[in-house]
Structure 1
Amino acid sequence: MLRLFPALIALALATPLHAACEGQDLRATMTAEQSDRLAARLDGRPYPVGNHWLAEKAGERLHLIGTVHINDPRLSGPVARLRPLVEEAALLLLELPERDRAKMQNLLVTEPGLMLLEGATLPELLPEDDWQRLAEATSARGIPGFMAAKFEPWYLSTILGLPPCLMVDIQEQNGLDYQLEDAAQAAGTPTAALEPFDSAIRIFADTPREEQLHWLLASINQPDQGEDMLETLLTAYAEEQHAASWLAPMVLMPPLDGMTQAAMDAEQADIEQSLLKNRNTAWIPVIEQALADTDGPVVAAFGAGHLSGEFGVLNLLAERGFTLTRQPF
């Protein structure tokens, strides 16, 4: 799951970061067992499709937009269609607005222990063969081994979750969230955060070290599938199959050596609880307060993985009396 975080945080219009990647959608080549596991996870899952929804209650209108944070040329149409919603909104809610991104950068400078190991380095924490494979993988992404050795496992897992074909341009941060924020700034639409700026990073930093190392090894166990995993996620998202976009890469990831499928499923569930469910629950009062404090419609744009499921944002709002209607994306 840690390796999926960067890909579930994008979408750009101008410079296509995805152009250099040539992966294939792995759903077409799933084994029968993998297909069954994916179907089981999707069965009965609330609101598994639709990247744009309208929630209404007592005259209040809330547009919910599920995003990805990595560009794909197929998504230029949705960007153009969604821009007017933001321009006419009373408020745009985001996971990490520009001012909070600046706070995040400052946090990593003032609290280096969030990203850098204190004490033993990765060559000391990993078997020699695993460390050599890790150093090779990070070097392919522009991070030499002597630097990679000092990073926390969670941080390297997020880097290795993206294939090398994305690394040159990923720093442009020109995804859907940023495109919508640019539109808001140009139109004078206020923006606000759904959560404290350090919420997500502290989830990763607080993950037990053993679990972080598990996912770090998972990130390098399939060196040839990074582009395919990315294409699987993006293709499902472009089809507005956002639940499959989130779940398919997890189903496709094989258990680590010595780990049973049940144990791996349990770790995935733990991370999903922290990364999605707990945050979704915390967002609901923020959203409701934003609606109460504004006179016009509110737009909330966040990673599409937060939309579906019993504890997805859509279902949580439905349980609080909102009427949900799928909208064009």
Structure 2
Amino acid sequence: MRHGLWHSIQQRIAILFPASYSWPAMDIHLDNRRLHLAGSIHMGTRDMQPLPAGLLRQLNKADALIVEADITQGGSPFSNDDEYPPLATRLDAEVLLRLQALCDELSLSISLFDTLPFWQIALMLQAQQAQRLGLRPQFGIDYQLLQAAKAANKRIIELEGPETQIALLKSLPQDGLPLLLDTLEHWHTNARLLQTMISWWLDAPPKQQPVALPTTFSSELNDTLMRNRNQHWRELLLALPKGRYVVAIGALHLYGDDNLPGLLKR
């Protein structure tokens, strides 16, 4: 079963990133609409600035930029209106030890997370990991594209928006415990995945195919955070009026079962 899954992923990856682009991207034509799908990294390294000239030309020719959310609006999407019981009362002893060990590795006090929901702890840990790899929000691909689009007075279309994304996280079962458990379990795998994505932007996508990338979500989380969103985004993109669009979405949405490009081609 696992071999079959990887073979399926490899087949899809092979068609995603044509050698004609030096960044992870592909073009899709939907009747009278042309989409340039760019696999974004939400946090980037300093070397990712400025964006590739070819990508900026795509944006200049586009009628609009489409992103998951406009992250240039400022302000934290998190609200700590609800305080949760201490972690010691919410987590199994083994999981608490793993979290404590990771906090020690990151030089963080576990008390920082004590009354937060599990999904927020997971996101904060992931942000810490990205920062340790040299990634910063202001160098993220979608952030830079948003800045360029606003400078050029391009229309910006959100597929979700920050409020919707936070609502999705709040809807996760057990206050997002599965996301925290996956974050702890796949910590090193996720670091390698981030490094792979960085190299695709800095050194060009790999020309040798197929390329296999690991999954870092459980099946249930994958349905919620990947597959269901891809299906929703498909409907929104299919409803676009005539025109050319640059679509910047997380690179992981461009591969795997029910990836967005595959759904659009159905």
Shift of 1:53: 2.0
Q: C-alpha distance in 2, partners of 1:147/1:87?
A: 43
2:26 aligned with 1:53 = yes
CA contact (8 A) 2:119 2:169 kept: yes
Shift of 1:179: 1.0
Deviates further, 174-183 or 220-229 = 220-229
Deviates further, 73-82 or 88-97 = 73-82
Deviates further, 36-45 or 46-55 = 36-45
Return 5+ residue gaps in structure 2 as ranges.
18-23
2:263 aligned with 1:316 = yes
Q: Partner residue of 2:235?
A: 285
Deviation per residue, 1:281-304 (Å, 9 max, x gap):
212232233334xxx422111112
Q: Partner residue of 1:97?
A: 70
Deviation per residue, 1:38-73 (Å, 9 max, x gap):
734525547653132222243332222121223246
Q: C-alpha distance in 2, partners of 1:243/1:96?
A: 31
How many residues are aligned here?
257
2:185 aligned with 1:216 = no
Match for 1:166 among 131, 145, 155? 131
Q: C-alpha distance in 1, partners of 2:178/2:239?
A: 39
2:222 aligned with 1:272 = yes
Q: Partner residue of 1:65?
A: 38
Q: Partner residue of 2:254?
A: 307
Shift of 1:216: 2.5
2:214 is paired with a residue whose SS is helix
Q: Partner residue of 1:150?
A: 115
Deviation per residue, 1:2-22 (Å, 9 max, x gap):
xxxxxxxxxxxxxxxxxxxxx
**Cα-Cα RMSD:** 3.7
**Aligned AA (2:260):** V
Structure 1 residues 133 and 165: CA distance shift in structure 2, 3 A:
same
1:276 is paired with a residue whose SS is helix
CA contact (8 A) 2:40 2:248 kept: yes
TM-score, length-normalised on structure 2?
Answer: 0.76
**Aligned AA (2:259):** G
Structure 1 residues 90 and 232: CA distance shift in structure 2, 3 A:
closer
Shift of 1:86: 1.0
Between the two proteins, what is the percent identity of the paired residues? Answer: 21
Q: C-alpha distance in 2, partners of 1:157/1:57?
A: 37
**Aligned AA (2:251):** A
Return 5+ residue gaps in structure 1 as ranges.
1-32, 251-266, 320-329
Q: Partner residue of 2:21?
A: none
